[in-house]
Chain A
């Protein structure tokens, strides 16, 4: 029973909710299309032999980061309110992981 505490009554503000969901759906579709597009670009960048590795590898990494952001903020609703803590902890994790890789790259493998 406790699990219903934060679910709202579905009959309230029906029109408003409809509109909001429609907007949400639109965004999801747009970002979905964008992600497919980004993936195609990545394949193209790798397949096109006029690009050197020094361009294509950083480029697809950049595309990957953009994709992750799309995933998180649109698909996984991090753009909504109430996600501050997950955001802090995810960025904290990213920071620690980055620090680790950075240190390895500079003082172990270099």
Chain B
């Protein structure tokens, strides 16, 4: 089939795409949208807390906004935005033409997307969930209305998507590496994606079980978590945190990977202590599974359990420290260029260290009785999540933007965004440590005057406006870049080290005309240092086999979306059950179609590739 015959409308193209580069863009847009919604919710909360006894967002509405902020940011902003960068970069970094399962890749995206839309439908259908992003059973079982049910079903759907995407990346990295790309030559971002995907594989099933049991309790009359009927509410907390702690590492490990790439690139040096970095990432992933009860010190697990989990938690600081020093040594003596991504990377180090230090403070169980459920905890996790993950997402977006869209973002605007965001971040969250120590509890919608909390809260709110301004400038930057941005070279920053910088920006549909032969760490840098223009090919030029686009991933996810409404209302309306069944029929019917229809894909012919390469190199 020729390229011309495959031309379709843009929307249909993205609805059916199985190309990892387009799925990356879908993730970026959808994740970005949810990031804006979550950010708006944060701003509303900070306005409410700007002054004592405020009545801008009262009681239950505040709880809903607070819950939706946390849930949206973790599950529908941070995770998918990381998936955006992983999809855009990882196949290129390992010298592959696509991911291992392009169809599943699309399915993962659509499941995430419909899960997020479903959750947000709650705003218009009687109120959002209001039991916090943790949704502890003791609270959520009592919550009236359907908010919590939206949370349960929405997260269940998007959780399948995340699990599918995680498995897809694991298989991709294990099986699709180019010849010569041994594990110890993999770029750090690929390594961290690999470990984070393994964490997804092991951490999401406990969440699925926890949410399922809670759903059975709420919608189908079971009593797993109701102590009055012989259940045990603590089990939900365990299940949630067995997932929850690995989840924070699922977020922060890829962030570490992004910074490793950015710091090495803009210091013009090989990453210091590469093998110890790999070791540290694997160790953090491993330890991440043995510390969950540090979120439950005050539950009353007993001194022995608390002590074990406290010590286990503190050990994570060791591999994390290894990474911090390796980044510092990478910069030491390097030829540093302070581009926008590099500014985020440099400021990430002290910001994240502060979050780590408060983490170790929280990990001392006796002290945690004082800190727990105060703003001190809020400060801690925002320092690690914003100072770590969000900084990384901003750095990564600026860094790989030219590779994804073929145009540079404006550096001046990028730096303005950075300054506003950095200042706003510290203004908002630094003072919260002290608010917490002075006794301001977490998740409250107001406070009384003259208890020493007034100024701190005002400062914090002002900081939130700085961050908002930063994000708005970023959006303006995106618009300007798409209208009049400078066209990006293949090696957009001129100092690229890894394989993605060897192909044109944006990469052609087939990624590599010839799969490259990898001869060491920083494969592209190696070739450049030997005076070569391109990569050493590992195969002759030939026809390239590609998968066909398909609308089935969209339809499968739509089916689950429909059926979730049915299950949600099956106790209230008689149409509930039929709709639930209809949705499942759509889902399983399209899975059946996928199984019985043979789809051999198509080929891009050699002369088409030669022509495209000529154009790409010229541009």
Contact surface of A with B, Cβ cutoff 8 Å? 1-2, 85, 89, 92-93, 96, 99-100, 103-104, 106-108
Judge whether B222 is part of the interface by a CB distance below 8 angstroms.
no
A1 CA to B232 CA, complexed, in Å: 54
State whether A96 and B238 are in contact (beta carbons under 8 Å apart), knowing that A1-B545, A107-B305, A108-B232 are contacts in the complex: no
Instruction: With CB as the reference atom, state the residue of chain B lying closest to A109.
Output: B232
Q: Are B289 and A1 in contact (CB under 8 A)?
A: no
Instruction: With CB as the reference atom, state the residue of chain A lying closest to B302.
Output: A107
Interface size of B as a range: 10 to 19
Chain A residue contacts of B290, Cβ below 8 A: 99
> Which 4 A-B pairs give the minimum distances between C-beta atoms?
A107-B305, A96-B202, A2-B545, A107-B301
Chain B residue contacts of A89, Cβ below 8 A: 170, 198, 201
Judge whether B423 is part of the interface by a CB distance below 8 angstroms.
no
Instruction: With CB as the reference atom, state the residue of chain A lying closest to B97.
Output: A2
Interface membership of chain B positions 192-215, coded 1 if the CB is closer than 8 angstroms to chain A and 0 otherwise: 000000100110001000000000
Q: Are B289 and A108 in contact (CB under 8 A)?
A: no
Give the number of A-B contacts (CB < 8 Å): 31
The minimal Cβ–Cβ distance linking A91 to chain B, given in whole angstroms, is: 11
A99 CA to B198 CA, complexed, in Å: 16
Identify 29 residue pairs between A and B in the complex whose beta-carbon atoms are under 8 Å apart, listed by A's number: A1-B545, A1-B600, A2-B545, A85-B174, A89-B170, A89-B198, A89-B201, A92-B198, A92-B202, A93-B201, A93-B202, A96-B289, A99-B290, A100-B206, A100-B238, A100-B242, A103-B238, A103-B293, A104-B235, A104-B238, A106-B305, A107-B293, A107-B301, A107-B302, A107-B305, A108-B232, A108-B234, A108-B235, A108-B238
A104 CA to B198 CA, complexed, in Å: 23
Instruction: With CB as the reference atom, state the residue of chain A lying closest to B202.
Output: A96
Residues B220-238 near A (CB distance < 8 A): 232, 234-235, 238
A103 CA to B294 CA, complexed, in Å: 13
Chain A residue contacts of B234, Cβ below 8 A: 108
Instruction: With CB as the reference atom, state the residue of chain A lying closest to B544.
Output: A2
Residues B272-306 near A (CB distance < 8 A): 289-290, 293, 301-302, 305
19 additional contacts (CB under 8 A) given A92-B198, A93-B201, A93-B202: A2-B545, A85-B174, A89-B170, A89-B201, A96-B202, A96-B289, A99-B289, A99-B290, A100-B206, A100-B238, A100-B242, A103-B238, A103-B293, A104-B235, A104-B238, A107-B293, A107-B302, A108-B232, A108-B238
Chain B residue contacts of A108, Cβ below 8 A: 232, 234-235, 238
Residues B242-271 near A (CB distance < 8 A): 242
A107 CA to B238 CA, complexed, in Å: 10
Chain A residue contacts of B600, Cβ below 8 A: 1
Chain A residue contacts of B174, Cβ below 8 A: 85
The minimal Cβ–Cβ distance linking A7 to chain B, given in whole angstroms, is: 15
The minimal Cβ–Cβ distance linking B285 to chain A, given in whole angstroms, is: 10
The minimal Cβ–Cβ distance linking A89 to chain B, given in whole angstroms, is: 7
The minimal Cβ–Cβ distance linking B317 to chain A, given in whole angstroms, is: 21
Which of A2, A99, A107: most chain B Cβ within 10 A?
A: A107
The minimal Cβ–Cβ distance linking A93 to chain B, given in whole angstroms, is: 6
A89 CA to B195 CA, complexed, in Å: 11
Instruction: With CB as the reference atom, state the residue of chain A lying closest to B235.
Output: A108
Chain A residue contacts of B206, Cβ below 8 A: 100
Chain B residue contacts of A96, Cβ below 8 A: 202, 289
The minimal Cβ–Cβ distance linking B101 to chain A, given in whole angstroms, is: 13
The minimal Cβ–Cβ distance linking B585 to chain A, given in whole angstroms, is: 30
Chain A residue contacts of B202, Cβ below 8 A: 92-93, 96
Instruction: With CB as the reference atom, state the residue of chain A lying closest to B301.
Output: A107
Instruction: With CB as the reference atom, state the residue of chain A lying closest to B232.
Output: A108
The minimal Cβ–Cβ distance linking A94 to chain B, given in whole angstroms, is: 10
The minimal Cβ–Cβ distance linking A99 to chain B, given in whole angstroms, is: 7
Chain B residue contacts of A100, Cβ below 8 A: 206, 238, 242
Chain B residue contacts of A107, Cβ below 8 A: 293, 301-302, 305
Instruction: With CB as the reference atom, state the residue of chain B lying closest to A95.
Output: B289
A106 CA to B242 CA, complexed, in Å: 15
Which of A2, A96, A99, A104: most chain B Cβ within 10 A?
A: A96
The minimal Cβ–Cβ distance linking B251 to chain A, given in whole angstroms, is: 19
A104 CA to B292 CA, complexed, in Å: 12
A104 CA to B236 CA, complexed, in Å: 11
A93 CA to B545 CA, complexed, in Å: 35
A1 CA to B602 CA, complexed, in Å: 10
The minimal Cβ–Cβ distance linking A85 to chain B, given in whole angstroms, is: 5
The minimal Cβ–Cβ distance linking A84 to chain B, given in whole angstroms, is: 10
A2 CA to B302 CA, complexed, in Å: 57
Chain A residue contacts of B201, Cβ below 8 A: 89, 93
Chain A residue contacts of B242, Cβ below 8 A: 100
Instruction: With CB as the reference atom, state the residue of chain B lying closest to A92.
Output: B202
A1 CA to B170 CA, complexed, in Å: 23
The minimal Cβ–Cβ distance linking A17 to chain B, given in whole angstroms, is: 24
Instruction: With CB as the reference atom, state the residue of chain B lying closest to A88.
Output: B198
Chain A residue contacts of B235, Cβ below 8 A: 104, 108
A107 CA to B237 CA, complexed, in Å: 13
Chain B residue contacts of A93, Cβ below 8 A: 201-202
Instruction: With CB as the reference atom, state the residue of chain A lying closest to B175.
Output: A85
A108 CA to B198 CA, complexed, in Å: 27
A106 CA to B198 CA, complexed, in Å: 26
A106 CA to B306 CA, complexed, in Å: 13
Instruction: With CB as the reference atom, state the residue of chain A lying closest to B206.
Output: A100
Chain A residue contacts of B545, Cβ below 8 A: 1-2
Chain B residue contacts of A103, Cβ below 8 A: 238, 293
A86 CA to B600 CA, complexed, in Å: 27
The minimal Cβ–Cβ distance linking A90 to chain B, given in whole angstroms, is: 11
The minimal Cβ–Cβ distance linking A5 to chain B, given in whole angstroms, is: 10
Instruction: With CB as the reference atom, state the residue of chain A lying closest to B543.
Output: A1
Which of B202, B234, B293: most chain A Cβ within 10 A?
A: B202
A2 CA to B599 CA, complexed, in Å: 12
The minimal Cβ–Cβ distance linking B239 to chain A, given in whole angstroms, is: 8
Chain B residue contacts of A85, Cβ below 8 A: 174
A92 CA to B290 CA, complexed, in Å: 13
A103 CA to B174 CA, complexed, in Å: 32
A100 CA to B206 CA, complexed, in Å: 9
Instruction: With CB as the reference atom, state the residue of chain B lying closest to A84.
Output: B174
A106 CA to B234 CA, complexed, in Å: 13
The minimal Cβ–Cβ distance linking A19 to chain B, given in whole angstroms, is: 30
Instruction: With CB as the reference atom, state the residue of chain A lying closest to B242.
Output: A100
Chain B residue contacts of A104, Cβ below 8 A: 235, 238
A108 CA to B206 CA, complexed, in Å: 16
A103 CA to B293 CA, complexed, in Å: 10
